[in-house]
A and B are shown apart, each in its own frame.
Chain A
Amino acid sequence: MKIAVCIKRVPEMDVKFRIAPSGVAVDETGLKFDMSDFDGYAVEFALQTTERLGTGEVVVISLGPDVVQETLRKALSMGVARAVHLKADSVPADGFAIAQALAAELKEGGYDLILFGKHAADTASGTVGLMAAELLGIPMVQACTKLSFADGKGTARREVEGGAEIVAFALPAAASIDEGIARPRYPSLKGIMAAKKKPMDVKPAQLGAARLTIMKLALPPERQAGRIIGEGAATVPELVRLLRDEAKVL
């Protein structure tokens, strides 16, 4: 099985972000970057799938400036065979523009399966994979928590409000990966050494026109500062009174 995984380099989220003077980007000073978490699950799942089958190849693709090669290199050190860097000055906010570039690259790749993370940790939009699959004209299953293959067909589980759906689809196909499917392995020292010699194909990204743009970034309005109303079960009557008379939610 030949599998492509599209990955994104994003900042780690456990920090206090500052907005850059431009007002339309975050200040990247001091931020640490890594593969977006859902994309990591997708890479791990792809590796496990080819390892289980004993055949096939995993290719990772990332779009952006030269620094995305670090993220691609990490995937190579996990065991991915080769990487494609779609070079662009920056990653546009417009998911359709990105999907067009990815589809142009994926079209001739002969992939049986194209994987994405459910969404990128920074934008949390989750549109690129579905749009790319539409442009390629292949079936797509979004946000899979389980995924298996037999006889050229796939079966997936998707969590939906109040339950789950089991979905059947034909290959070749695309899928995006939700939590719970596979925990990414840590690259071994051997893997890190081997990754240095693995092929990294660099090409210009054929981005579509960007028609979704960032006008402004702002910190969300602060909630009114929290208030501790008391300690222990003795405070319960006061809480009920506040919920009824002040918040009016009872």
Chain B
Amino acid sequence: MANILVFAESRGGSVRKVAFELLTAARSVAAGGEVHAILAGAPGIAAQASSLSKFGAVAVLVTEHPSLSAYNAESLAALVSDRAKSGGYRAVLFSASAQGKDLAPRVAARLGVPMAADSLSVAFDGDATVVTHYVYAGKIIATLRLAAIPAVVALRPGAIAAVESSGAGRIESIPPVGDPSTSRVQVTESIRGDSRKLDLSDAPVIVSGGRGLKAAEHFKLVEDLAAAFGNAAVGATRAVTDEGWRPHSDQIGQTGRQVSPDLYVAVGISGAIQHLAGMRTSRTIVAINKDKDAPIFKIADYGIVGDVFEVVPALTAAIKEAKAKG
């Protein structure tokens, strides 16, 4: 039996999907112990607590403060490490998201323990914790043993599918640790992408474009296909973001985002290993490329050899039609 603390991240006043994934993972290792979630944000964030209960949080610990409306690294590190100490948890879980990658090492250092980063799985083995983690550009998978309690683990977004759990949880209010408005690192501006667009880690489908599109304006083909799916985000290769065709934040690969959607459509992407490292765990991969020898075809479940300027518009039309039929 092991009580687990989960950092339930939110942005713009909403809980992110990764929090539900963490609760699902926590339940799978808790072995009868309780799963607690910590939720922090601007006043009003408490209204989101019930969504965490639905995914199995027996207790949701809510901290509200105006200076927690944006991600507040130092204040959250103090809050989570304090609670981890006083609560006697077996493990503290984070998502390996922009927030979790920043927060988890801070919390671990404050607790004086090592941590496991960007893990694909987590399991307990007595007092030790065993995780798996990609190393060497995704070419090797390492099984790591963490001999410390609490075990601080960051789980890769999408590595574990969120599953609801019945039962209601209690909601407790806990005060911030120190004054969040005096943190030495403060977010002064949040720049939102197009809010209608799904984020790469939230989207069940990702349509991604590579150098085969030849010019920035041809990304419209990729955007149109993503729009036809209706639940798709747009990604890109490093070559494309280096060219400035797409923002750096869209880059999928070893040095960019690592994604595991249900469906990944690679448009004009040759399949350099650095790119494969960011998407090879996708459930189904479709590749469209004019070069039949492109490495992407070695891992694609369904490959079409052809001109992206002909195949992609045809696919967009066909997906629209299929979606219209329901």
Instruction: Give A residues with C-beta under 8 Å from B.
Output: 11, 13-14, 16-17, 19, 26, 37-38, 93-97, 99, 118, 121-131, 134-135, 139-143, 145, 155, 158-170, 173, 178-180, 211-220, 223-233, 235-237, 239-240, 242-244, 247, 249-250
Point out the residues of chain B lying under 8 angstroms from A237, CB to CB. Answer: 318
Contact A162:B192 (CB < 8 A) given known A96-B108, A233-B310, A236-B318: yes
Q: Is the pair A232, B310 in contact by a Cβ cutoff of 8 Å?
A: yes
Can you spell out 18 A-B residue pairs with CB atoms less than 8 angstroms apart?
A127-B105, A160-B71, A161-B11, A161-B249, A162-B249, A163-B192, A165-B191, A167-B186, A212-B144, A219-B141, A220-B139, A228-B300, A232-B304, A232-B305, A235-B306, A236-B314, A247-B263, A249-B263
Contact A225:B145 (CB < 8 A) given known A13-B273, A124-B134: no
Contact A141:B310 (CB < 8 A) given known A95-B105, A243-B284: no
B225 to chain A minimum Cβ distance, whole angstroms, is: 11
Closest 9 CB pairs of A and B: A134-B109, A130-B105, A125-B117, A160-B98, A233-B314, A96-B114, A166-B189, A228-B303, A139-B184
| A64-B24 Cα distance, complex, nearest whole Å | 39
Contact A122:B304 (CB < 8 A) given known A96-B108, A160-B98: no
Q: Is B126 an interface residue (CB 8 A)?
A: no
Point out the residues of chain A lying under 8 angstroms from B73, CB to CB. Answer: 140
Contact A231:B98 (CB < 8 A) given known A134-B77, A211-B113: no
Q: Which residue of B lies closest to A208 (CB)?
A: B114
Among B108, B204, B313, the most chain A Cβ lie within 10 Å of the Cβ of B108
Binds A, one of B41-49, B54-62, B195-203: B195-203
| A212-B146 Cα distance, complex, nearest whole Å | 5
The interface size of chain B toward A, counting residues with CB under 8 Å, comes to 98
B154 to chain A minimum Cβ distance, whole angstroms, is: 9
Q: Is the pair A127, B115 in contact by a Cβ cutoff of 8 Å?
A: yes
Q: Is the pair B106, A227 in contact by a Cβ cutoff of 8 Å?
A: no
The count of A-to-B residue pairs whose CB atoms sit within 8 angstroms is: 273
| A11-B140 Cα distance, complex, nearest whole Å | 13
Q: Is B101 an interface residue (CB 8 A)?
A: yes
Q: Is B143 an interface residue (CB 8 A)?
A: yes
Binds A, one of B26-34, B159-167, B211-219, B291-299: B291-299
Q: Which residue of B lies closest to A131 (CB)?
A: B109
| A160-B263 Cα distance, complex, nearest whole Å | 22
In B299-326, which residues have CB < 8 Å from any A CB? 299-307, 310-311, 313-315, 318-319, 322-323
Contact of A243 among B97, B188, B302 (CB under 8 A): B302
Q: Is B67 an interface residue (CB 8 A)?
A: no
In B165-193, which residues have CB < 8 Å from any A CB? 184-193
Q: Is the pair B140, A26 in contact by a Cβ cutoff of 8 Å?
A: yes
Q: Is B51 an interface residue (CB 8 A)?
A: no
A212 to chain B minimum Cβ distance, whole angstroms, is: 4
With A99-B109, A167-B185, A215-B144 given, name 4 new contacts (CB 8 A).
A227-B300, A231-B305, A235-B304, A249-B205
Q: Is the pair B142, A216 in contact by a Cβ cutoff of 8 Å?
A: yes
B101 to chain A minimum Cβ distance, whole angstroms, is: 6
| A94-B256 Cα distance, complex, nearest whole Å | 23
Contact A217:B140 (CB < 8 A) given known A127-B105, A212-B145, A249-B263: yes
Q: Which residue of B lies closest to A162 (CB)?
A: B199
Q: Is the pair A227, B101 in contact by a Cβ cutoff of 8 Å?
A: no
In B109-130, which residues have CB < 8 Å from any A CB? 109-110, 113-118, 130
Contact of A239 among B249, B292, B296, B304 (CB under 8 A): B304
Q: Which residue of A lies closest to B139 (CB)?
A: A17
Point out the residues of chain A lying under 8 angstroms from B190, CB to CB. Answer: 163-166
Contact of B303 among A26, A158, A162, A227 (CB under 8 A): A227
Among B114, B189, B191, the most chain A Cβ lie within 10 Å of the Cβ of B114
